[in-house]
């Protein structure tokens, strides 16, 4: 009888040893949830969404395009930029605007280096920190009613914080069709005189609607006049989530620093 009890105990211990070890709990990886910047207004967010969304824009690191014989490439995360043309190259290394060769007139280089980039990157570029938004009363432009969003900036933001922009969006699609802007660079303070650009053609590039052309129009404060010039086309547009080469923006030895 004792042997039988002993045998049963051995069998119980052996069975216990053969039971599989409890599985370790593996926690699922936490996927970050995109949160739009809190300073964006609902009206502006609707415009962003109509152009592909600010989340998609935020993933992009490099933007390049051709404007006539001028090639521009920008690091979207730090706004370093390089603008190449047959006569000169203008760059911004994050601190200084530089120009090559050192024999060309660089007096307007600081004003010009990101001028077209800012117009081209609309509407997303006004989503930067330091911007404030105000919904405008709907207004008629060239026979059609548009919804408006005025954009202004905190003091110390950029070279011209007194500049203002008004985005005019189609109320049916929320796509931007017109842009009003003031120019106060080297000016005496805020200006109430607005210039006017029409954005009529868009192309989808990497999930974002980007302009293929823009056209300046005469504007007297109430009425849209004639086109000031032919539409400015943009070609060879590329926008990616890969950063451009850092050495593109380094100031060459034979460069001059643009005056501030």
Q: Given this structure, which CATH class describes domain 42-257? A: mainly beta
Residue extents of the structural domains in the chain: 42-257
Which candidate, 29, 49, 74, places its Cα nearest to that of 239? 74
More confident: 157 or 111:
111
How much is the average pLDDT of 13-34?
Answer: 56
Instruction: Identify which of 116, 127, 114 has the alpha carbon closest to the alpha carbon of residue 51.
Output: 127
**Could you report the per-residue pLDDT of 67-103, keeping only the tens digit for each?**
999 999 999 999 999 999 999 999 999 999 999 998 9
Q: What pLDDT does residue 15 have?
A: 47
Per residue in 224-251, is it b (16+ CB within 10 Å) or e — as a string? beeeeeeebebeebebeeeebeeebbeb
**Closest Cα to residue 238, out of 74, 73, 77, 63?**
63
How far apart (Å, rounded) are the C-alpha atoms in residues 18 and 23? 15
pLDDT at 51: 98
pLDDT at 165 over 80: yes
* Surface-to-core class of residue 137, CB atoms within 10 Å of its CB (0-12 exposed, 13-18 middle, 19+ buried): exposed
Residue 192 pLDDT: 73
**pTM (predicted TM-score):** 0.83
Average pLDDT over residues 46-74: 98
Q: Which of 134, 92, 121 is nearest to 250 (CA)?
A: 92
């Amino acid at each position: 009888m004792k042997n039988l009890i002993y045998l049963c105990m051995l069998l119980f211990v052996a069975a216990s040893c053969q039971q599989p070890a409890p599985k370790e709990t593996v926690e699922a990886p936490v996927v970050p949830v995109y949160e739009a910047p809190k300073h964006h207004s609902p009206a502006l967010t609707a415009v962003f969404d109509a152009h592909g969304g600010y989340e998609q824009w935020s993933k992009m690191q490099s933007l390049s395009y051709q404007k006539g014989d001028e090639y521009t490439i920008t690091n979207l995360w730090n706004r370093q930029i390089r603008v190449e043309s047959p006569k000169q190259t203008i760059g911004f290394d994050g601190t200084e605007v530089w120009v090559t060769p050192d024999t060309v007139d660089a007096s307007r280089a600081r004003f010009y280096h990101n001028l077209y980039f800012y117009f081209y990157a609309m509407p997303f570029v006004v989503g930067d920190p330091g911007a404030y938004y105000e919904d405008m009363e709907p207004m008629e432009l060239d026979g059609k009613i548009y919804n408006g969003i005025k954009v202004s900036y905190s003091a110390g933001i950029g070279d011209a914080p007194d500049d203002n922009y008004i985005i005019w969006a189609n109320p049916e699609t929320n796509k931007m069709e017109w842009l009003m802007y003031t120019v106060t660079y080297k000016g005496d303070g805020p200006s109430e005189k607005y210039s006017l650009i029409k954005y009529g053609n868009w192309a989808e590039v990497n999930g974002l609607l980007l302009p293929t052309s823009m056209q300046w129009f005469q504007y007297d404060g109430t009425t849209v006049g004639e086109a000031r010039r032919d539409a400015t086309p943009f070609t060879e547009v590329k926008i990616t989530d890969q950063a451009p080469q850092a050495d593109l923006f380094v100031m060459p030895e034979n460069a001059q620093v643009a005056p501030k």
